[in-house]
């Protein structure tokens, strides 16, 4: 079973920031938080991952709470092409571990 809970769906206005929450209250010390997204009929696309510090890359920012029990993915300026299902996944750092996907959050960016 997935170790995370996410809202089923969210809407966001084009050009605004999209903030996608994720709860992972049972995360253990060596587990990372990963975010992937899946646009319709495509394979999942890596977005970002982090352990305990906030992370930022060209796609998004990841904010992890101090107790690591929850996190937020931020898309700073959502576009229509960001409409997708976003998956928050908790996974250990060992090579060869697979990803356990929950149902994710279906983000709809509205014009």
What separation in angstroms does the CA of 96 have from each of 29, 31, 92? 18, 14, 10
The two tokens of residue 36 are 């992937």
Number of residues lying near another protein (CB under 8 A): 22
- Would the CA dihedral through 63, 64, 70, 73 be positive or negative? positive
**Per CB under 8 A, 29 contacts another protein:** no
Residue with tokens 């107790």: 67
Write down the least CB distance from residue 16 to another protein, Å: 27
**Per CB under 8 A, 42 contacts another protein:** yes
Helices (H) and strands (E) counted in the chain, each on its own, are: 0, 9
- The DSSP code for 14 is T
**Per CB under 8 A, 32 contacts another protein:** yes
**Per CB under 8 A, 50 contacts another protein:** no
Site residues (CB under 8 A) for another protein, limited to 82-101: 87, 93, 95-96, 98-101
Of 8, 29, 41, 53, which one interacts with another protein (CB under 8 A)? 41
User: Rule CB under 8 A: which residues touch another protein?
Assistant: 32, 34, 36, 38, 41-46, 49, 87, 93, 95-96, 98-104
């Amino acid at each position: 079973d997935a170790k995370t809970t996410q809202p089923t769906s969210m809407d966001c206005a084009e050009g605004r920031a999209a903030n996608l929450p994720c709860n992972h209250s049972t995360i253990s010390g060596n587990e990372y938080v990963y975010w992937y997204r899946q646009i319709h009929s495509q394979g999942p696309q890596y977005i970002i991952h982090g352990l305990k510090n906030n992370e930022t890359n060209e796609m998004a920012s990841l904010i992890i709470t101090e107790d690591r029990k929850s996190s937020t993915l931020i898309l700073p300026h959502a576009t229509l092409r960001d409409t997708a299902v976003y998956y928050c996944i908790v996974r250990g750092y060992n090579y060869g571990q697979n990803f356990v996907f929950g149902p994710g959050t279906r983000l709809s960016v509205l014009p």
